[in-house]
């Protein structure tokens, strides 16, 4: 066998591991005990078809160890009531499932859950990675279901779809139905049109011609009365608001052509254009449908990321821990916060000490030491100590709640983006109407009253804004799809309109420009007994025991496992252990009992002798300096707004030379700074990752966040970069200006075509056949030009 890969997840198998399982009479290798256990469960439950038919490997086993504890929190009745809907004695819930990689996963999950006889209905959607479940919650607790999923390698969490998403879904279904009606009818009417065309050349009995026209009329009725309705509604809304939009000429063309053809059918005169009506409606619907679907996909993907915020808390009642919903905590309650948990409410520590990560709320990257009597904030993460917290205010009034309220308020103040095509449409429609009326008057009163109606029709058909109205949507859809493939999700298509006009780029610091976590900056070794790699390997071995963020900085330096005994953690100070009968300590200078003036953050002593001093820092992302330089050459003004007040902000400013820098910003100040820029007429992009950036997201024209950002940011931002790197920003800017160019070309072409054909049509030289051909040709050209965006 060549390079060994895990049978379950297809990751390479690290050397020295030997996990095997027999399947289909063959020994299969696994990369870890987790993958092996999952495969064992799948095969022994008779679900091995999964391995035979899947098209993608599964995701690697990555479930937290304390899963069972956290799952149990969902069983508390009031927590469950928050995330599910009761239907008689059945409970209905939506789960967002991580790890679904192909359709076979959906099947696997459905089968696994159907084995429980309390499960009434289960449907998995592999496209949106959701699971919809109806079951008897009183007989099987939710935690049992979730751990059943965990056993086959999927991590599921309750999820509440918001109203907006529901609306998206119904709208998408409506689109599908309209597409079907206009598509199928177009085929029928086209077929009849071919017969009519042939009849015109070879001769056709008048009764047959009349019959075919009547049938076409009947078949077109559902298209104009049902499929084309959205255009009329939108046009009507536009007219009511005294703003002509693109849908006005579209509905005008559709209905004028339809009524003219109906008139021709009833009075047996002139020409019929039913097939143009149908095809036009179908093509426009198709364009809109794809654009809508691309956006709703992006939305689904990001709202999956929004896990419900601190769901459960452990309430201490008469010294008995009890799981409750965080929303129902009241001031004065005492909650227990375990290491690694999210703190559920603002409060004061009444026992225990620890450190907390508040970077998502304040932008400060260093962990904050928390002693008895200190304040803690809802939404921050508790690191290494067990805490008892007395709740000082309910969740809605907490610091986190206030940021969310501020964000809701700024949402309505989002700077308006005028859509270019709408502007153009207004200009175009006004003139088109004037020309049509003038043509009619000209022919009716002065030239030839009999031909007036038909010439006006050919003006309208020839100038039918099909190409013009397809120009933007097709280009936007192709650009969205191409960006999507690169790992850039865009939720509002208007974003593409603004991006090329940007003047200011605003960056958050912690977690955006920097990694948002510690890494080793400098190591100073005392003496020559140990080398740098020996020291780092030893520390990495010891830090494996700790959950502290400092410990994670040493993880990449672990090379050789060492035997350690009697390891002991002192919360907030350091770790000591026994290695080869030597007493090893790592931690602060006080913990290592050193009297030193060094400002290093971590010290290592062996038998009370200081061996190494280590400086840690929140490192700048490797791609940032060159990216910033390139953006500056491209002519953008660069701004940094950070909540961090430390010297690191100043240091970064010196290194990267921003045009404007503010440190120690509260979320309100960030909003004010950006609003200031917007008021001065600049177009602003905000790039951030924390909850404290969210209000500013809505103040800016475009907001971008990273995969590593907080769940809430990912849900709120207009654009999500699906890589832990901001290098994609450049690609986003390039692609959007490319898309803008294609839109411009499309608009120039279709406007140019119209300018050419209008005088000819007004003069009565354009026969209706030529008008239809010209219209179809220009639409095709526009669509194929847009498709160029998909390549590369």
Partner 1 sequence: MSVIYVLIPIAILFVIIGLAVFFWAVRSKQFEDLDKEGFSILFDDNKPQSRSASSDDEQQPPKQ
Rounded to whole angstroms, the Cα distance separating 573 from 590 reads 8
* Binding flag, residue 293, partner 1 (CB under 8 A): no
* Binding flag, residue 659, partner 1 (CB under 8 A): no
Residue window 168-187: x/- pattern of binding to partner 1, with contact defined by CB under 8 A: -x---x--xx--xx--xx--
Smallest separation (angstroms) from partner 1 to the CB of 486: 22
Query: How distant is the alpha carbon of residue 223 from its chain centre?
Result: 35
Applying CB under 8 A, the span of 5-13, 122-130, 444-452, 761-769 interacting with partner 1 comes to: 122-130
* Binding flag, residue 46, partner 1 (CB under 8 A): yes
Rounded to whole angstroms, the Cα distance separating 137 from 53 reads 32
DSSP of 368-437, one letter per residue? EEE-TT-EE-TT-EE-SS-EEEEE-S-GGGSHHHHHHHHHHHHHTTPPP---HHHHHHHHHHHHHHHHHH
Using the rule CB under 8 A, which residue among 44, 203, 205, 373 binds partner 1?
205
Smallest separation (angstroms) from partner 1 to the CB of 84: 18
Closer residue to partner 1, CB minimum distance, 76 or 219: 219
Rounded to whole angstroms, the Cα distance separating 374 from 385 reads 14
Long-range contacts at 648-653 (CB < 8 A, ≥ 24 apart): 648/365, 648/509, 648/514, 648/617, 648/618, 649/509, 652/509, 652/513, 652/514, 652/620
Helices (H) and strands (E) in the chain, counts: 26, 29
Tokens of 575: 């770790």
* Binding flag, residue 124, partner 1 (CB under 8 A): yes
Smallest separation (angstroms) from partner 1 to the CB of 125: 4
Closer residue to partner 1, CB minimum distance, 153 or 401: 153
Coil, helix or strand at residue 237: helix
Burial class (CB in 10 A: 0-12, 13-18, 19+), 398: buried
Residue window 134-173: x/- pattern of binding to partner 1, with contact defined by CB under 8 A: -----------------------------------x---x
Smallest separation (angstroms) from partner 1 to the CB of 387: 43
Closer residue to partner 1, CB minimum distance, 100 or 460: 100
Using the rule CB under 8 A, which residue among 123, 269, 651, 784 binds partner 1?
123
Closer residue to partner 1, CB minimum distance, 285 or 754: 285
Q: Which residues of 114-137 are buried (b: 16+ CB within 10 A; e: fewer)?
A: eebeebbebebebebbbbebbbeb
* Binding flag, residue 580, partner 1 (CB under 8 A): no
Using the rule CB under 8 A, which residue among 29, 84, 128, 342 binds partner 1?
128
Residue 539: name the closest of 582, 596, 584, 578 by CA. Answer: 584
* Binding flag, residue 198, partner 1 (CB under 8 A): no
* Binding flag, residue 555, partner 1 (CB under 8 A): no
Largest CA distance in the chain: 113
* Binding flag, residue 239, partner 1 (CB under 8 A): no
Q: Are 186 and 278 in contact (CB under 8 A)?
A: yes
Burial class (CB in 10 A: 0-12, 13-18, 19+), 579: middle
Strand stretches in 444-597, DSSP E: 488-490, 504-507, 514-525, 565-570, 574-579, 582-587
Q: Pick out residues in 91-110 that bind partner 1 (CB under 8 A).
A: 102-104, 106-107, 110
Coil, helix or strand at residue 184: helix
* Binding flag, residue 131, partner 1 (CB under 8 A): no
Smallest separation (angstroms) from partner 1 to the CB of 786: 24
Closer residue to partner 1, CB minimum distance, 92 or 374: 92
* Binding flag, residue 87, partner 1 (CB under 8 A): no
Using the rule CB under 8 A, which residue among 78, 87, 114, 655 binds partner 1?
114
Using the rule CB under 8 A, which residue among 111, 698, 714, 738 binds partner 1?
111
Smallest separation (angstroms) from partner 1 to the CB of 127: 5
Residue window 214-233: x/- pattern of binding to partner 1, with contact defined by CB under 8 A: -x--xx--------------
Query: How distant is the alpha carbon of residue 521 from its chain centre?
Result: 33
Smallest separation (angstroms) from partner 1 to the CB of 481: 16
As beta bridge partners, residue 101 has none
Chain contacts with partner 1 (rule: CB under 8 A): 46, 49, 53, 102-104, 106-107, 110-111, 114-115, 120-121, 123-128, 169, 173, 176-177, 180-181, 184-185, 188, 192, 205, 208, 211-212, 215, 218-219
């Amino acid at each position: 066998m060549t390079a060994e890969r895990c049978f379950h997840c297809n990751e390479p198998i690290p050397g020295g591991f030997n996990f095997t399982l027999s399947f289909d009479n063959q020994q299969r290798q696994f990369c870890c005990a987790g993958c092996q256990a999952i495969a064992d469960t799948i095969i022994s439950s008779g679900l091995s078809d999964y391995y035979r038919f899947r098209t993608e490997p599964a995701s690697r086993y990555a479930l937290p160890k304390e899963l069972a504890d956290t799952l149990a929190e969902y069983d508390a009745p009031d927590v469950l009531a928050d995330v599910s809907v009761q239907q008689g004695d059945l409970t209905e819930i939506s789960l967002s499932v991580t790890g679904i990689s192909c359709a076979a996963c959906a099947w696997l999950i459905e089968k696994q859950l159907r084995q429980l006889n309390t499960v009434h209905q289960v449907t998995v959607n592999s496209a949106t990675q959701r699971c919809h479940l109806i079951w008897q919650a009183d007989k099987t607790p939710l935690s049992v279901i979730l751990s059943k999923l965990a056993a086959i390698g999927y991590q599921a969490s309750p999820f509440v779809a918001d109203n907006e998403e529901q609306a998206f879904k119904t709208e998408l279904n409506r689109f599908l139905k309209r597409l079907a009606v206009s598509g199928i009818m177009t085929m029928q009417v086209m077929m009849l049109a071919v017969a009519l065309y042939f009849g015109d050349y070879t001769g056709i009995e008048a009764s047959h011609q009349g019959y075919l026209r009547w049938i076409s009329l009947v078949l077109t009725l559902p298209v104009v009365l049902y499929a084309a309705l959205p255009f009329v509604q939108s046009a009507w809304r536009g007219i009511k608001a005294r703003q002509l939009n693109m849908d006005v000429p579209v509905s005008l063309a559709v209905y004028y052509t339809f009524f003219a053809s109906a008139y021709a059918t009833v009075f047996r005169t002139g020409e019929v254009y039913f097939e143009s009506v149908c095809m036009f409606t179908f093509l426009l619907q198709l364009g809109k449908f794809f654009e809508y679907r691309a956006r709703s996909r992006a939305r689904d993907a990001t709202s999956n990321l929004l896990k419900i915020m601190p769901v459960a808390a452990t309430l201490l009642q008469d010294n008995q821990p009890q799981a409750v919903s965080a929303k129902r905590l009241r001031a004065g309650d005492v909650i227990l916060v375990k290491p690694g948990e999210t703190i559920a409410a603002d409060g004061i520590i009444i026992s225990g000490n620890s450190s907390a990560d508040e970077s998502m709320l304040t932008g400060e990257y260093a962990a904050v030491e928390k002693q008895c009597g200190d304040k803690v904030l809802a939404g921050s993460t508790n690191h290494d100590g067990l805490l008892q917290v007395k709740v000082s205010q309910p969740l809605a009034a907490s610091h986190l709640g206030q940021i969310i309220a501020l964000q809701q308020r700024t949402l309505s103040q989002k700077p308006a983006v005028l859509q270019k095509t709408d502007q153009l449409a207004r200009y175009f429609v006004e003139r088109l109407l004037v020309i049509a009326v003038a043509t009619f008057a000209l022919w009716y009163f002065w030239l030839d009253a009999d031909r007036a109606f038909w010439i006006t029709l050919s003006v309208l058909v020839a100038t039918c804004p099909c190409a013009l109205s397809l120009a933007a949507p097709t280009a936007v859809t192709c650009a969205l799809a191409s960006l999507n493939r690169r790992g850039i999700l865009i939720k509002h298509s208007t974003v593409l309109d603004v991006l090329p006009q940007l003047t200011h780029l605003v960056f958050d610091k912690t977690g955006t420009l920097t990694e948002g976590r510690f890494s080793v900056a400098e190591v100073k070794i005392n003496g020559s007994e140990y080398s740098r790699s020996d020291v780092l390997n030893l520390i990495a071995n010891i830090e494996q025991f700790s959950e502290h963020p400092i410990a994670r900085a040493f993880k990449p330096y672990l090379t050789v496992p060492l035997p350690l005994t009697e390891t002991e953690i002192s919360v907030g100070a350091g770790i000591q252990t026994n290695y080869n009968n030597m007493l090893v300590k790592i931690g602060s200078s006080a913990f290592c009992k050193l009297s030193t003036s060094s400002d290093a953050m971590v010290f290592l002593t062996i038998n009370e002798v200081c061996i190494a001093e280590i400086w840690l820092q929140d490192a700048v992302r490797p791609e940032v300096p060159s990216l910033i330089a390139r953006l500056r050459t491209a002519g953008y003004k660069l701004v940094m707004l950070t909540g961090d007040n430390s010297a690191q902000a100043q240091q970064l400013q010196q290194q990267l030379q921003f045009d404007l820098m503010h440190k120690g910003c509260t979320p309100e100040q960030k909003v004010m700074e950006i609003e200031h820029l917007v008021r001065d007429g600049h177009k602003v992009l905000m790039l951030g990752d924390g909850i404290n950036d969210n209000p500013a997201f809505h103040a800016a024209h475009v907001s971008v966040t990273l995969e590593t950002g907080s769940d809430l940011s990912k849900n709120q931002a207009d654009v999500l970069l699906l890589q832990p790197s901001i290098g994609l920003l450049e690609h986003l800017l390039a692609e959007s200006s490319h898309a803008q160019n294609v839109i411009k070309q499309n608009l120039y072409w279709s406007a140019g075509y119209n300018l050419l054909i209008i005088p000819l049509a007004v003069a009565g030289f354009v026969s209706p056949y030529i008008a239809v051909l010209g219209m179809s040709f220009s639409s095709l050209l526009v669509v194929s030009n847009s498709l160029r965006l998909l390549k590369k």
